Amino acid sequence: MYVCLCHGFTDRQVKCALEAGAGGSTAAVYRHFECAPRCGKCVPLVRDMVRAARTDEEPPVRR
């Protein structure tokens, strides 16, 4: 599933980034992809994924 349509990265890519150590913050995930939020619609989901990675939980499903 695409997380960020502006930059074209997926939930799988975010999970890989988090596993690779980009889990310190939401901003760290964007730095990993060498970008910054454009429209910002993906920020809440990326934030949830970062939080879930910290607590070993599945991120909540957003619709």
Sites of contact with ligand FES (CB under 6 A): 4-7, 37-42
The two tokens of residue 30 are 């964007």
Q: How far is the CB of 40 from ligand FES (least distance, A)?
A: 6
Of residues 41 and 62, the one with the C-beta less far from ligand FES: 41
Of residues 12 and 38, the one with the C-beta less far from ligand FES: 38
Q: Say how many residues make up the chain.
A: 63
Nearest Cα neighbor of 15 from 3, 27, 31 is 3
Distance of CA 39 to the CA centre of its chain: 14
Q: How far is the CB of 30 from ligand FES (least distance, A)?
A: 9
